[in-house]
């Protein structure tokens, strides 16, 4: 019997036009009525995840996992922090210094803004601001030693992939470095990933690993799909996610979540 289900947002919970289908909404209601707690697990900062909670319904979603599992809150207990991971200022500076000569934009977040290290050269930071519902504010967060849960590096997809290949090999052991979209390269604390976040939350609320489900489509979803008792890759997922999934469902535009609920919840 499943008791906790974690959902990625873009490409998973939402359709490609960023809408929530009625079938998906009904599937979430069915899960809740079956005693399954629902957690939204996103790379977005908390305000951006709260937007999705508002869309789904606060009565259905209690827990929010933001920054790829780097900050988890209980929204029914005044956003009590269950887990939080921070990038130390020295490490933020090291990453930003290395990337200074690359044609990329770098941002982090405070509680109300997308913080751009400098004026953006590309449209992707504006896209991130739109996704999160937060305005862009230019601030030298390195010098200010602003609290950083996640660094976002954005740029043209092909170029950004060459940047990733240029990163020192040991960096992938020091930080959790993942793509959440072809134009989003994210630097998270090494202990912050969606799988670890799901494990922290499961332990906090007394749910066994085999009682968990996880749904996703992108590289940053891989750890939670691998960790969950039932890891579900959307039909539109990248190959690496499908490879570790227990089940590959239909695409996000073809009611993939509803299909899983029919197969694993309603039939049981």
Domain ranges of the chain: 4-85+192-266, 89-189
Class of domain 89-189: alpha beta
Report the C-alpha dihedral over residues 200, 182, 91, 140, rounded to 10 degrees: -120
Task: Tell me the per-residue pLDDT of 7-48, one tens digit each, with 9 for 90 and over.
Answer: 999 999 999 999 999 999 999 999 999 999 999 999 999 999
Task: Tell me the per-residue pLDDT of 226-267, one tens digit each, with 9 for 90 and over.
Answer: 999 999 999 999 999 999 999 999 999 999 999 999 999 997
Q: How far apart are CA 263 and CA 11, in angstroms?
A: 20
Whether 103 shows a pLDDT value over 80: the answer reads yes
Average pLDDT score over residue span 72-79: 96
pLDDT recorded at residue 174:
97
Task: Tell me the per-residue pLDDT of 163-209, one tens digit each, with 9 for 90 and over.
Answer: 999 999 999 999 999 998 999 999 999 999 999 999 999 999 999 99
Q: Give, in degrees to the nearest 5, the angle at Cα 224 between 220 and 225.
A: 95
pLDDT, mean over the chain: 96
Q: How far apart are CA 109 and CA 132, in angstroms?
A: 10
Q: How far apart are CA 12 and CA 91, in angstroms?
A: 32
Q: How far apart are CA 50 and CA 66, in angstroms?
A: 9
Whether 268 shows a pLDDT value over 80: the answer reads no
Whether 136 shows a pLDDT value over 80: the answer reads yes
Domain 4-85+192-266: assigned CATH number = 3.40.50.1000
pLDDT recorded at residue 113:
96
Secondary structure string (H, E, C) spanning 37-56: EEEEECCCCHHHHHHHHHHH
């Amino acid at each position: 019997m499943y008791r906790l289900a974690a959902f990625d947002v873009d490409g998973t919970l939402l359709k490609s036009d960023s809408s929530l289908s009625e079938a998906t909404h009904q599937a979430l209601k069915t899960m809740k009525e079956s005693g399954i707690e629902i957690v939204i697990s996103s790379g977005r900062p908390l305000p951006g995840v709260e937007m999705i909670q508002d869309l789904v319904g606060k009565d259905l979603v209690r827990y929010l996992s933001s920054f790829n599992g780097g900050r988890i809150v209980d929204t029914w207990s005044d956003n009590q922090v269950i887990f939080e991971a921070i990038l130390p200022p020295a490490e933020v500076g090291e990453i930003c210094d290395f990337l200074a000569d690359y044609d990329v934009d770098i941002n982090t977040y405070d509680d109300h803004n997308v913080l751009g290290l400098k004026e953006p050269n590309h449209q992707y930071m504006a896209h991130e601001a739109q996704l999160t519902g937060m305005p862009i504010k230019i601030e030298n967060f390195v010098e200010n030693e602003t609290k950083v849960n996640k660094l976002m590096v954005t740029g043209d997809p092909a170029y950004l992939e060459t940047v990733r290949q240029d990163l020192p090999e040991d960096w992938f052991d020091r930080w959790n470095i993942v793509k959440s979209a072809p134009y989003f390269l994210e630097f998270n604390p090494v202990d912050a990933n969606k799988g670890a976040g799901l494990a922290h939350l499961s332990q906090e609320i007394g749910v066994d690993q085999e009682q968990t489900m996880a749904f996703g489509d992108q590289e940053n979803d891989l750890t939670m799909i691998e960790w969950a008792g039932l890891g579900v890759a959307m039909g539109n997922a990248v190959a690496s996610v499908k490879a570790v999934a227990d089940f590959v469902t239909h695409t996000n535009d073809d009611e993939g979540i509803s299909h899983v609920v029919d197969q694993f919840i309603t039939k049981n």
